[in-house]
Amino acid sequence: MIPKQEKQAVGQRLLAEFRAAGAVEVAPDILLPAESLLDLYGEDIRARAYVTSDPIRGEMMLRPDFTVPVVQAHMSNGAEPARYCYLGEVFRKQDMGDTRPANPRDNEYLQCGFELFTRDPGADAEVFALFHRALAPLELRAEIGDMGLLLDAVAGLPLTQVRAEALMHHIWRPGRFARLLARFSAPAVARDFPPGTGAWSGLRSDAEMTRRIVRLQADAAVPPLSPIWTERLDRLFSLRAPATEALPALRDLAADMPAIADAVTRIEARLRAIAAQGIDLSQVVFDASHGRDTLEYYDGFTFSFQAGRQGWPPVASGGRYDALTRVLGKGREIPAVGGIVRPGLVAELEGAR
Amino acid sequence: MIRLGVPSKGRLMEQTFDWFAGRGVRLSRSGSDREYAGRVEGVEGVQLVLLSAGEIPRELAAGRIELGVTGTDLVREKLAGWSSDLIELAPMGFGHADLILAVPDCWRDCRDLDDFAAIARDFRAEHGFRLRIATKYHRLVRAWLAAHEVADYQLVDSQGATEGTVANLTAEAIADITSSGETLRANNLRILDEEPILRSQATLFANRAAMGPQIEALAAQLQIALP
């Protein structure tokens, strides 16, 4: 067991590196109003975050991550561009299933993070290189992806807007996404909508239902998606290779899927900027589906640094979350990218050396 | 001494008494109807503890009773990692109830969970908040919906009269235990065309740490094949 002070010390060291990179240190509250977190993450957050109640302030949550409070603080009074860093505990509970895990995960641990709010297109490479430098001695496996690439690919499928939007909505839920795609790839079946027996009940209105029925009836006339497209989409989603090899593969895919051409150009520029920071791209894994199983708020570049130990979460992770600033900004928005390191894991790796 | 926890009132208590009587063990309440003490005849070394059915999972897990009769729904909802602490000795064949998700019957476009997921997404866009499901089975419902990758909903707590929440506009759907479905129909609700979230019945549970010769002997007398 690594003592907490040692983990703190590692956190302070990382924090100093982030400060040296121009970040202003911020210290968000530990008790956060539950409402905006619940609205953002949905019910799943209740299974993971500690919820408590305050007689005056209502339902509160023990900070499950820093991104939301940092974005909220920036959106209400930050100037741009802005770089922030922070160090502190986050709290996560584990709602186990039928059996209690033999080694329950830590329910409180440190996060040291860096968030960058800027319209500068070089921001992705800046953040990734900063994390890469800070973690370089640990020889972790760096993985990157781009959710924007996947979203563009889906938006570019020859689908009706209704179908494309449904697919994009569920891109973070692979099972539901696959079911929808399978349904759109098969001949549509006309449904009948038997009349109900009882009176109308509930807040959802008859008009809302009628709109959906009209939509479904129109959808029944839509021809199925050609298998060529699901095959291309599969090829894209399963692309995983060193970044140097992934790039030519992406260019090949873009020849078949023109909708991803812009995203591939963006990725190419980003990789060039990363290489310009002295990082060997052959040692960076590009995984097209990276970020699909993480939180819903990443919508562009994503990255993680893995120690490859069984049962370990990434030692560091992050990405771009432009849409989150739109949701929390109440009318304002600003491109944003950032990430966190888990100093506790860094301390363990350093202790084992 | 084996302490046996049994629901302290109602049909569940009577059916539990019948189940044991059918296996040669006579359980009864001693004294008046108001007194929560019990008698055990036909077997040695067993003490009857009458408890609220909802408290039996907790008492079992804490080891304050060695055996207990309660619904599988209550055990799975109230005890995270239940099978690390408890063993299911015997399903008892009564107290059948399914935990189900039900929507207003007037939703002609909602047949299954795929429809439900799509409606939840529309609802959130239309109303600016997540579709509300009223329930008291928070953990079971959340885990089931997560496993089926349903998003765009929220749970609202309802400890009773859950079927009324939709008409009262405090929820759009409900997740609750039903046996005949009659209350649902009376409230213009319809069960989604899916396997239930959980099929529950009254079950004899044992505390895992309490397993030993005493419980084995009792199980043999009750004609239970131990797992």
Q: What is the ipTM of this complex?
A: 0.88
Q: What is the pLDDT of residue A190?
A: 87
Q: What is the mean pLDDT of chain B?
A: 93
Decide if B105 and A197 are in contact by the 8 Å CB cutoff: yes
Query: Is residue A27 over pLDDT 90?
Result: yes
**Domain boundaries in chain A?**
1-140+334-353, 157-192+206-230
Tell me the per-residue pLDDT of A4-13, one tens digit each, with 9 for 90 and over: 999 999 999 9
Q: Average the pLDDT over A164-193 and give the result.
A: 92
Q: What is the pLDDT of residue B33?
A: 63
Amino acid identity at B78: K
Mean of pLDDT values over B184-189: 92
pLDDT over 70 at A353, yes or no: no
How far is residue B161's CA from residue B178's CA, in Å, rounded to a whole number?
Answer: 12
CB atoms A169 and B121 under 8 Å: yes
Work out the percent of chain A whose per-residue pLDDT is above 90. 76
Per-residue pLDDT, B34: 62
Going from the C-alpha of A239 to that of each of A145, A250, A254, A267, the distances in angstroms are 10, 8, 13, 14
pLDDT at A328: 87
Interchain CB distance below 8 Å, B106 and A199? yes
pLDDT averaged over chain A?
A: 93
Chain B nearest CA to A192, separation (Å): 9
The pLDDT confidence band at residue B77, using thresholds 50, 70 and 90, is very high
Of A96, A175, A193, the CB nearest to B108: A193
Under 8 Å between Cβ of B43 and B34: no
Interface test with A, best of B188, B193, B208 (most A CBs within 10 A): B188
Answer whether B108 sits within 8 Å of A196, measured CB to CB.
Answer: yes
Least confident of A19-28, A43-52, A189-198: A189-198
Q: pLDDT tens for residues B143-153? A: 999 999 998 99
Which residues 6+ apart lie within 8 Å of B25 measured at CB? Answer: B40, B41, B42, B43, B46, B221, B222
Mean pLDDT of B1-21: 94
Higher pLDDT among residues A109 and A326, named by residue: A109
Cα of A212 to nearest chain B Cα, Å? 8
A147, A151, A119, A185: which is closest to A288 by C-alpha? A147
Residues 6 or more apart whose Cβ sits within 8 Å of residue A219: A160, A162, A163, A188
* Span B63-85, average pLDDT: 95
Percent share of chain B, pLDDT over 90: 87
Q: In this complex, do B106 and A209 lie within 8 Å of one another by their Cβ atoms?
A: yes
Residue A39 binned pLDDT confidence (cut-offs 50, 70, 90)? confident
Q: What is the pTM of this model?
A: 0.90
Q: What single DSSP character describes residue B37? A: B
Residue A122: predicted pLDDT: 94
| CA of A166 vs chain B CAs: smallest distance (Å) | 8
B49 DSSP 8-state letter: E
Distance CA(A294)–CA(A39), nearest Å, equals 17
Q: Is the pLDDT of residue B35 over 70?
A: no
Among A70-74, B31-35, B147-151, B194-198, where is mean pLDDT lowest? B31-35
List the beta strands (DSSP E) in B55-115: 67-71, 86-91, 97-104
Q: Give B126's contacts in chain A (Cβ within 8 Å).
A: 208
| Distance between CA atoms of residues A66 and B90, nearest Å | 48
Least confident range from A48-52, A53-57, A165-169, B31-35: namely B31-35
Give CA torsion, residues A81, A315, A348, A134, to 10 deg.
-40
Q: Give percent of chain A with pLDDT exceeding 70.
A: 99
Token representation of residue B7: 């629901």
Checking if the pLDDT of A153 tops 90, the result is: yes
For residue B16, the distance in angstroms to the closest alpha carbon of chain A comes to 25
Two tokens, residue B75: 């055990």
User: How far off is chain B from A115, nearest CA to CA, in Å?
Assistant: 27
Residues 6+ apart with CB under 8 A from A20: none
Q: Is the link from the previous residue into A81 a cis peptide, with omega within 30 of 0?
A: yes
Q: With bands split at pLDDT 50, 70 and 90, how would you rate the model's confidence at B162?
A: very high
A98 and B82 within 8 Å at the Cβ level: the answer is yes
Residues in A whose CB is inside 8 Å of some CB of B read 38-39, 42-44, 46-47, 95-101, 166, 169-170, 173-176, 179, 193-204, 206, 208-209, 211-213, 216, 296
Q: How far apart are the first and last CA of chain A?
A: 15
Distance (Å, rounded) from C-alpha B192 to C-alpha B114?
A: 10
A1-140+334-353 adopts what CATH topology?
A: BirA Bifunctional Protein; domain 2 (3.30.930)
Q: How many degrees, rounded to 5, is the angle at CA A340 between CA A339 and CA A342?
A: 160
Q: Which of A57-66, A150-159, B30-39 has the lowest mean pLDDT?
A: B30-39
Buried b (16+ CB within 10 A) or exposed e, B132-169: bbbbbbbbbbbbbbbebbbbbbbbbebeeebbbbbbee
A145 residue type, one letter: G
Measured CA to CA in angstroms, residue A211 lies from A184, A208, B115, B183, B190 at distances of 20, 5, 14, 30, 21
3-state secondary structure of B106: coil
Residue A225: CA atoms inside 13 Å, Cβ hemisphere, count? 23
Residues of B in contact with A44 (CB under 8 A): 142, 146, 151
Q: Do B104 and A200 touch (CB under 8 A)?
A: yes
Amino acid at A164: A
- Reported as a pLDDT band with limits 50, 70 and 90, residue B27 is very high
Q: Given a cut of 70, is residue A296 above it in pLDDT?
A: no
